[in-house]
């Protein structure tokens, strides 16, 4: 096969606010959150093959390949392609990953890798599934995957799959990664978690333009008090950042973030962090890099 490799960025996300409204009968939680996509992410390179094999090279992720969300997304799409009753020999792929987003950091690296894989292989294997179908496949793998499939910053409800795209005042974020790993499943099942926050009404979204006043009014993350109790290093990192600007936990952590108006200020704050602390600077990007790159690839190949 002569198709050239397709190289895409799988962007990170931040949860600029997060409320837990309640627990459903299936154990999952109803949330409201604002997903802000970022302009940094992992790089995934896809080379289609003429067999049905999924080969993954993904250094830095400590799960066996079959549990890697990239392989799981590939297999799910393979099944969907076969169900389409199209005679498929050429639904194999070699995937190579440059992993830069810390796994389990609350910045959605694994989820974004999975979404990017669904988008890339849907194109390369010519499955012709629309975004609704791909988002539904993604949801079967993880609650955070649909927003990356749709590729736009959004206000999310349900378990994170009911998405209203929003435009968020652009900011530069300093993201710090404390040296601890927070298990999403363990946090959601912790009896001490606050699960009864009041819902924000859709009217409060105004024209879907989230400016700094809106973000200041609704900022806050229901996981934060519990995570900071369980992991003092998270509180330490968030309190350090809070010297410079309002700082919050993203998702279930462990990363914390603060937003700044200029790149220069964000970089100065990052540079000032204590020795040994991991972190990065990223800009909010309401449109996912993946989608832009995929459109360019489709236009040139």
Ligand X SMILES: C[C@@](CO)(OP(=O)(O)O)[C@H](O)COP(=O)(O)OP(=O)(O)OC[C@H]1O[C@@H](n2ccc(N)nc2=O)[C@H](O)[C@@H]1O
Ligand Y SMILES: Nc1ncnc2c1ncn2[C@@H]1O[C@H](COP(=O)(O)OP(=O)(O)O)[C@@H](O)[C@H]1O
Nearer to ligand Y, 214 or 252 (CB): 252
- Active-site annotation holds for 275: no
- C-alpha distances (whole Å) from 54 to each of 41, 72, 294 are 22, 10, 20
Annotated ligand binding at 104? The verdict is yes
Residues 120-179 that bind ligand X (CB under 6 A): 142-144, 159-160
Rounded to a whole number of angstroms, the minimum distance from the CB of residue 158 to ligand X is 8
Tally of CB atoms within 10 A around 84 = 12
Q: Which stretch binds ligand Y (CB under 6 A): 110-118, 216-224, 237-245, 281-289?
A: 110-118
Beta bridge partners of 174: 258, 281
Annotated ligand binding at 106? The verdict is yes
Nearer to ligand X, 78 or 221 (CB): 221
Q: Which does 219 bind (CB under 5 to 8 A by kind): ligand X, ligand Y, none?
A: none
Catalytic site residue from 42, 113, 144, 222: 144
Q: SS3 of 250, please?
A: coil
Q: Whole-angstrom Cα distance, residue 122 to residue 110? A: 18
Residue count at the site for ligand X (CB under 6 A)? 19
Query: How many residues does the structure list for the chain?
Result: 301
Q: Whole-angstrom Cα distance, residue 289 to residue 172? A: 16
Dihedral over alpha carbons 291, 289, 18, 108 (to 10 degrees): 100
Under the binding rule (CB under 6 A), the answer on residue 96 touching ligand Y is no
Tell which one of 41, 48, 92, 104 touches ligand Y (CB under 6 A): 104
First to last CA, the chain: 13
Annotated ligand binding at 103? The verdict is yes
Give the distance, in angstroms, between the CA of residue 64 and the centroid of all CA atoms in the same chain: 21
- Active-site annotation holds for 51: no
Under the binding rule (CB under 6 A), the answer on residue 111 touching ligand Y is yes
Under the binding rule (CB under 6 A), the answer on residue 184 touching ligand Y is yes
Tally of CB atoms within 10 A around 143 = 18
Cα angle value 250/102/151 (rounded, 5°)? 65
Residues tagged in the binding site annotation: 102-112
Applying CB under 6 A, which residues contact ligand X?
A: 15, 27-29, 31, 33, 106, 108, 111, 142-144, 159-160, 184-185, 188, 251-252
Residues tagged in the binding site annotation for ATP: 102-112
Applying CB under 6 A, which residues contact ligand Y?
A: 61, 63, 68-70, 103-111, 113, 184, 251
């Amino acid at each position: 096969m002569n198709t050239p490799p397709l190289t895409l960025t799988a962007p990170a996300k931040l949860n600029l606010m997060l409320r837990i409204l309640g627990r459903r009968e299936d154990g999952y939680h109803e949330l409201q959150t604002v997903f802000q996509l970022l302009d940094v992410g992992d790089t995934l390179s896809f080379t289609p093959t003429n067999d049905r094999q999924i080969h993954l090279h993904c250094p830095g992720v400590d799960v066996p390949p079959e549990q890697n969300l990239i392989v799981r997304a590939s297999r799910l799409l393979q099944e969907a392609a076969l169900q389409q009753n199209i005679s498929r020999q050429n639904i194999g792929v070699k995937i190579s990953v440059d992993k830069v987003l810390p796994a389990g950091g609350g910045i959605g690296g694994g989820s974004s890798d999975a979404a990017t894989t669904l988008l890339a292989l849907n194109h390369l294997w010519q499955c012709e599934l629309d975004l609704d179908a791909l988002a539904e496949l993604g949801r079967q793998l993880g609650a955070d995957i649909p927003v990356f499939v749709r590729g736009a910053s959004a206000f999310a409800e349900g378990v994170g799959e009911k998405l209203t795209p929003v435009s968020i005042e652009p900011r530069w974020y300093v993201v710090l990664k404390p040296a601890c790993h927070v298990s999403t499943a363990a946090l959601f099942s912790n009896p001490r978690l606050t699960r009864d926050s009041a819902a924000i009404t859709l009217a409060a979204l105004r024209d879907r333009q989230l400016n700094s006043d809106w973000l200041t009014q609704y900022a806050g993350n229901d996981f934060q008090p519990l995570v900071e109790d369980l992991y003092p290093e998270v509180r330490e990192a968030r309190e350090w950042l809070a010297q410079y600007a309002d700082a919050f936990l993203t998702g279930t952590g462990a990363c914390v973030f603060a937003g700044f108006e200029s790149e220069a200020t964000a970089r100065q704050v990052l540079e000032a962090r204590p020795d040994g602390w991991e972190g990065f600077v990223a800009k909010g990007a309401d449109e996912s890099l993946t989608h832009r790159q995929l459109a360019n690839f489709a236009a040139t190949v």
